Amino acid sequence: MRYACLVYFDPQKVFSQSAEAEAALRDTGPYNAELRASGQLVTEGALELPQQAMTVQVRDGKMSATDGPFMETKEVLGGFLVVEARDLNEALRLGAGIPLARLGFVEVRPLVDFSKPRPQL
């Protein structure tokens, strides 16, 4: 199964140049390389900060765009990995290995399996 590991962190902490932050940033490349070598990394990407982002939406056929998103929280979505894992616990273990999990947190979420029925809400 595939899982997205969504990496959230506080940019103030990650780019503070503290020894801890520098170590986490330095370890990120090798960790991704390990996952790729073991066949568990489907894709990954690091995101620019939300200051560089725009949000679009369409209502009544009209597009509008705003800056951001700017959330109230300090943590922003900073990157993602899509991993192939046997089950949720294995995906959690892979998510826990992401070096930035030491500074922020990683949300591990299964990718939708379209052969299953849609959620009933």
**Nearer to other proteins (CB atom), residue 53 or residue 88:** 88
Contact positions vs other proteins (CB under 8 A): 1, 27, 30, 34, 38-40, 42, 84, 86-90, 92-93, 110
- The minimum distance between CB 70 and other proteins, in angstroms, equals 29
Hey, is 94 helix, strand or coil? helix
- The CA distances from residue 40 to 33, 47, 55, 81, in Å, are 10, 21, 31, 10
| Nearest CA-CA partner of 95 in 1, 5, 9, 18 | 5
For the CB of residue 7, give the shortest distance to other proteins in the complex, in Å.
19
Q: 113 and 1 in contact (C-beta within 8 Å)?
A: yes
* Smallest distance from other proteins to CB 67, Å: 34
Q: Which is nearer to other proteins, 2 or 13 (CB)?
A: 2
